[in-house]
Structure 1
Amino acid sequence: MKNTYKVNNPATGEFISEIEMNTKEEINLALKKGHNAFRKWSQVNAHERSDLLKKWMDNIQAHKAEIAELMTRENGKPIKESLGEVDYASSYIAWYAEEAKRTYGRTIPSHNESKRIVVTKQPVGLVAAITPWNFPAAMMTRKAAPALAAGCTFIVKPAEDTPLTTIRLIELAHEVGIPVDAIQYVIGEGKEIGEIFTNSEFVRKITFTGSTPVGKTLLKNSSDTIKHVTMELGGHAPLIIAEDADLDFAVSQTIASKFRNAGQTCVCANRILVHENVMDEFANKLTTEVTKLKVGNGLEEGVDIGPIINEKGYTKIIAQVNDAISKGAEVLVGNEYNANHQINTYFVYPTVLKNVQLDMKITQEETFGPVAPLISFKELEEAIEIANSTPYGLAAYFFTNNYKTGIFLHERLNFGIVGWNDGAPSAAHVPFGGMKESGLGREGGTEGIEPYLETKYLSIGDL
């Protein structure tokens, strides 16, 4: 008898579905099928692959309301955010449907009149992806779309907490004619499947979004077979409020960054650095707006903040807040919780902390929750030093209307994504990825298809 696990609504504890886990033999068979399908799929011309991707996107949009409701039920995020994520996921498919036709090669002037030199691009092979629970639609299409566009076959292991969205999206891909072995999913425990993926001779590329420790393990294990890797790992984003910032606008963008998906995003603002001369005004304005955020079941009208995904995440958030308070942080709003351990529902109400110091856990560890710690600074150099002081370099934000200050900050912040007066810089047509221990490679933009392609050099002699 197969092992199974239950998917429940993290806002209510409601049972949604029981999912069968694949055996090791089934996973290896799926990898072999994906490998065998690569030969045929890679020969489908780019325009046909493009057309199939567009049809997939159209099919997703036709089922937008259904997918969004499913996502909210298994993930907990507000329905308005789930609807937005369906559009965001679709935008990656739309973008790479076009990029499929632009995997250009080139000719190079020869050093010898009897030779011709040609460079071409070809798909790497079967791609294995591991995706997170916080964006179950977008993180899958961000990987699947460029892989399929390049001519690779694709297999994904979705997060145990949120497999249903991924399963439905892949069903919709099959409905429009993308071959069943060209895009597949497998269900199981992350560590076991990660080892199968990295050990498999059939897999030529691993793409992963998740924690830095897991990413390091995948990198080490992939080295034995020299696989291509793309890693989008942990973040600990700083958000800097300069003295001249438009505070009302900065507050609105801070809320957009910090509290989306209840703060459970890798690019959300985790350390809010505010110039000491505007700290009190910014803190008051932020607190006023945060008190307006409604907490509850994401399917209910007007809800802004849904549940924490599980007890582990909930416990980590509370520990960070309690540590900060014990070391002198002031609670301006929040520090309220609602947990029902019997049905595994965990809510953290949006919280703003003032007088946060650098020896507190919340300044050193990624929070993944709706808590905004405010840290005071005097000089921009001090803010930059604090911002760059962690091993992470995924996203950073700053707010200033002075172009000299903006250029100064941009050039000195060691982060792959930087928002200047912008709390939501992500988009399908731009490169997404981090520096330092926040990852390797980029997803999105023209850069996002390159990791799925090999470069082949042809020298033609005796002409």
Structure 2
Amino acid sequence: MLEEAAIASVQTGLFIGGKWRDSARTMPVHDPSTGQILCTVADADAAEAREALDAAVAAQPSWAATTPRERSTILMNAHRLLLENVDRLALVMTLEMGKPLTEARGEIAYAAEFFRWFAEEAVRIDGGYMTAPGGGSRFLVTRQPVGTSLLITPWNFPMAMGTRKIGPAIAAGCTSVIKPAAQTPLSILALADILTEAGLPDGVVNVVTTSSPDEVITPLILDGRARKLSFTGSTKVGKHLLELCARTVMRTSMELGGNAPFLVFDDANLDDAVDGAMAAKMRNIGQACTAANRILVHNSVAEEFTRKLTQRMEALPVGRGTEDGVVVGPLIDEAAVAKVSSLVADAVDRGASVLTGGEALDRPGNFYPATVLTGVPDDAEMCHNEIFGPVAAISTFETEAEAVERANDTPYGLVAYVYTESLKRGIRVCEALESGMVGLNQGVVSNPAAPFGGVKESGLGREGGTTGIDEFLETKYIGVAV
């Protein structure tokens, strides 16, 4: 079978120093659509993780000394290989994570673009030269690799979040140890083989899979030799990691939680707004930090918008991601279904109405249908916590000032969405929103060429864009006497 062949094509050991090796422990990888075990992978302990760090540290001097063009060529090779293997890699992703195959193929293409983008950025690392204002010396400014980096990726975009971190690290001249999420390790393990085939030297990228992330990562942070941590995940875990990194003053990039508002004003093109809401809400079955979490619609257009959105949502087919036509695959695990169910029940208890969906499906796997709630009050738990599921929570507003105030009433600030046909209002509202990214009349903001990241408790630093490589570079000033 194609599914069995796809899983069998992935190495399941630890990737350390360019070699695959077994671990004393193993852990299962489950298919979220059936609950069945797909395979088992290595389950590293602290000692094995330290060996991965040893390999990365040993490879750092020689890798930093490579030319930008060499690093660029390897990334372009990896970009090509990802696209050549898109069907196999997409099937692996669908099996371990659940998203429909169409979305998985899209993610592989998206992931490959990070390699192409940073291949181009690798040869554009610049510096500076100037005369000291008082004369007598010259200022020479160089950009150098920050050093060995620890990369931690989430389960919801298992390939793209890997390339978004590995790409700039390679381009900047940094070696790394990457720890993928325990639920979805296969995509990163497959990526390690792709990078080897692309010509990446031994030890530049090392992969450690584990079911005990704190046991493995904490010693690596406190070791002192790694100089950079890039993490994508929950704000709670991110805060814990920041505390650890403070002990060695480690450079950090944090892409954390979100609570995205989606604002629809009275002059919005409602068909466009519904299209945007579907994209912002249902990408990855709603399991995205960029997902529209609170949909705020002007009173005068709320009825029509809600009717159109509900029609679209209730028509979405639910099923295993490998099935033709499926749009709503399973959530990642039983805990995710329980969380979504609890948030919906809480909103209904507080006065919200269910227009479609609203209950977990009674079938094998972790399925929850596309759901629309209206009249969701601001004190509902889902207005303060990421839903991370296919639930559209709608409430209404009267004035622009009210919409902006409610949108900003959250400790998070990753992304927001605004729909209006007024350019003046669009600019005014986008500037007033406390968010690292805003989609103005568009429901998808992610792009390798754009700086991805948030403000407030949604994170630190940016990934992608012209600033993405800066996270892996240190600025050095050399004063030259003349």
Determine the structure 1 residue equivalent to 2:107. Answer: 85
Structure 1: which amino acid aligns with 2:394? L
**4+ aligned runs moved over 6 Å, structure 1:** none
CA RMSD of aligned residues (A): 1.1
Secondary structure at the aligned position of 2:377 is classed as: coil
Question: Among 30, 49, 52, which residue is 1:8 paired with?
Answer: 30
Deviation at 1:339, TM superposition (A): 4.9
Q: Is the CA contact (8 Å cut-off) linking 1:57 and 1:94 kept in structure 2?
A: yes
Determine the structure 2 residue equivalent to 1:295. Answer: 318
Determine the structure 1 residue equivalent to 2:42. Answer: 20
Structure 2: which amino acid aligns with 1:423? G
Question: Among 332, 336, 340, which residue is 2:355 paired with?
Answer: 332
Corresponding position: 1:270 with 2:293: yes
Q: Is the CA contact (8 Å cut-off) linking 1:125 and 1:203 kept in structure 2?
A: yes
Determine the structure 1 residue equivalent to 2:277. Answer: 254
Structure 2: which amino acid aligns with 1:196? P
Q: Is the CA contact (8 Å cut-off) linking 2:59 and 2:202 kept in structure 1?
A: no
For 2:379 and 2:263, locate their aligned partners in 1 and report how far apart those are by CA, in whole Å: 19
For 2:430 and 2:198, locate their aligned partners in 1 and report how far apart those are by CA, in whole Å: 44
Describe how 1:56-95 pairs up with structure 2 within 5 A: 56-95=78-117
Structure 2: which amino acid aligns with 1:12? T
Structure 1: which amino acid aligns with 2:441? N
Structure 2: which amino acid aligns with 1:424? V
Q: Is the CA contact (8 Å cut-off) linking 1:337 and 1:348 kept in structure 2?
A: yes
Determine the structure 2 residue equivalent to 1:398. Answer: 418
Q: Which digits, 9 at most, give the CA deviation of each residue in 1:434-457, with x for residues without a partner?
A: 000000000000010001000000
Deviation at 1:112, TM superposition (A): 4.8
Corresponding position: 1:220 with 2:243: yes
Corresponding position: 1:111 with 2:133: yes
Deviation at 1:115, TM superposition (A): 1.9
For 1:376 and 1:146, locate their aligned partners in 2 and report how far apart those are by CA, in whole Å: 42
Q: Is the CA contact (8 Å cut-off) linking 1:194 and 1:218 kept in structure 2?
A: no
Structure 1: which amino acid aligns with 2:305? F
Q: Is the CA contact (8 Å cut-off) linking 1:339 and 1:346 kept in structure 2?
A: no
For 1:97 and 1:273, locate their aligned partners in 2 and report how far apart those are by CA, in whole Å: 40
Corresponding position: 1:435 with 2:458: no
Report % sequence identity.
43
For 1:243 and 1:111, locate their aligned partners in 2 and report how far apart those are by CA, in whole Å: 55
Q: Is the CA contact (8 Å cut-off) linking 1:199 and 1:225 kept in structure 2?
A: yes
For 1:211 and 1:193, locate their aligned partners in 2 and report how far apart those are by CA, in whole Å: 18
For 2:268 and 2:136, locate their aligned partners in 1 and report how far apart those are by CA, in whole Å: 63
Question: Please, which runs of 5 or more residues in structure 1 have no aligned partner?
Answer: none
For 2:138 and 2:456, locate their aligned partners in 1 and report how far apart those are by CA, in whole Å: 40
Structure 2: which amino acid aligns with 1:405? R
Structure 2: which amino acid aligns with 1:328? G
Count matched residues.
459
Determine the structure 1 residue equivalent to 2:74. Answer: 52
For 2:269 and 2:366, locate their aligned partners in 1 and report how far apart those are by CA, in whole Å: 35
Question: Among 161, 166, 173, which residue is 2:183 paired with?
Answer: 161
Q: Is the CA contact (8 Å cut-off) linking 2:45 and 2:215 kept in structure 1?
A: no
Deviation at 1:4, TM superposition (A): 1.6
Q: Is the CA contact (8 Å cut-off) linking 2:131 and 2:137 kept in structure 1?
A: no
Determine the structure 2 residue equivalent to 1:376. Answer: 396
Structure 1: which amino acid aligns with 2:144? Q
For 1:144 and 1:153, locate their aligned partners in 2 and report how far apart those are by CA, in whole Å: 9
Q: Is the CA contact (8 Å cut-off) linking 1:251 and 1:285 kept in structure 2?
A: yes
Deviation at 1:57, TM superposition (A): 1.1
Describe how 1:304-453 pairs up with structure 2 within 5 A: 304-339=327-362, 345-453=365-473
**The 10-residue stretch of structure 1 (297-306 or 198-207) with the greater mean CA deviation from structure 2:** 198-207
Determine the structure 2 residue equivalent to 1:286. Answer: 309
For 2:42 and 2:473, locate their aligned partners in 1 and report how far apart those are by CA, in whole Å: 34
Secondary structure at the aligned position of 1:203 is classed as: coil
Deviation at 1:13, TM superposition (A): 2.2
Structure 2: which amino acid aligns with 1:209? T
Deviation at 1:61, TM superposition (A): 1.1
Deviation at 1:460, TM superposition (A): 1.1
Secondary structure at the aligned position of 1:107 is classed as: strand
For 2:338 and 2:452, locate their aligned partners in 1 and report how far apart those are by CA, in whole Å: 29
Structure 1: which amino acid aligns with 2:182? E
For 2:374 and 2:133, locate their aligned partners in 1 and report how far apart those are by CA, in whole Å: 65
Q: Which digits, 9 at most, give the CA deviation of each residue in 1:70-89, with x for residues without a partner?
A: 00000000000000000100
Deviation at 1:180, TM superposition (A): 2.6
Q: Is the CA contact (8 Å cut-off) linking 2:45 and 2:216 kept in structure 1?
A: no
Q: Is the CA contact (8 Å cut-off) linking 1:197 and 1:206 kept in structure 2?
A: no
Deviation at 1:262, TM superposition (A): 0.9
Secondary structure at the aligned position of 2:140 is classed as: strand
For 1:396 and 1:423, locate their aligned partners in 2 and report how far apart those are by CA, in whole Å: 9
Deviation at 1:24, TM superposition (A): 1.4
Q: Is the CA contact (8 Å cut-off) linking 2:129 and 2:141 kept in structure 1?
A: yes
Q: Which digits, 9 at most, give the CA deviation of each residue in 1:399-422, with x for residues without a partner?
A: 000112101211110000100001
For 2:135 and 2:391, locate their aligned partners in 1 and report how far apart those are by CA, in whole Å: 66
Structure 2: which amino acid aligns with 1:435? V
Determine the structure 2 residue equivalent to 1:191. Answer: 214
For 1:155 and 1:448, locate their aligned partners in 2 and report how far apart those are by CA, in whole Å: 18
For 2:89 and 2:206, locate their aligned partners in 1 and report how far apart those are by CA, in whole Å: 18
Secondary structure at the aligned position of 2:406 is classed as: helix
Deviation at 1:335, TM superposition (A): 1.0
Deviation at 1:113, TM superposition (A): 4.3
Q: Which digits, 9 at most, give the CA deviation of each residue in 1:230-251, with x for residues without a partner?
A: 0000001000000000001110
Structure 1: which amino acid aligns with 2:380? M
Deviation at 1:190, TM superposition (A): 1.9
Structure 2: which amino acid aligns with 1:323? D
Q: Is the CA contact (8 Å cut-off) linking 1:76 and 1:309 kept in structure 2?
A: yes
Deviation at 1:2, TM superposition (A): 2.1
Deviation at 1:367, TM superposition (A): 0.5
Deviation at 1:260, TM superposition (A): 1.1
For 2:151 and 2:241, locate their aligned partners in 1 and report how far apart those are by CA, in whole Å: 11
**The 10-residue stretch of structure 1 (234-243 or 23-32) with the greater mean CA deviation from structure 2:** 23-32
For 1:220 and 1:277, locate their aligned partners in 2 and report how far apart those are by CA, in whole Å: 47
For 2:69 and 2:457, locate their aligned partners in 1 and report how far apart those are by CA, in whole Å: 37
For 1:199 and 1:317, locate their aligned partners in 2 and report how far apart those are by CA, in whole Å: 36
**The 10-residue stretch of structure 1 (328-337 or 78-87) with the greater mean CA deviation from structure 2:** 328-337
Deviation at 1:194, TM superposition (A): 2.6
Secondary structure at the aligned position of 2:111 is classed as: helix
Q: With structure 1 as the length reference, what TM-score do the two structures score?
A: 0.97
Q: Is the CA contact (8 Å cut-off) linking 2:153 and 2:180 kept in structure 1?
A: yes
Deviation at 1:32, TM superposition (A): 1.1
Structure 2: which amino acid aligns with 1:124? V
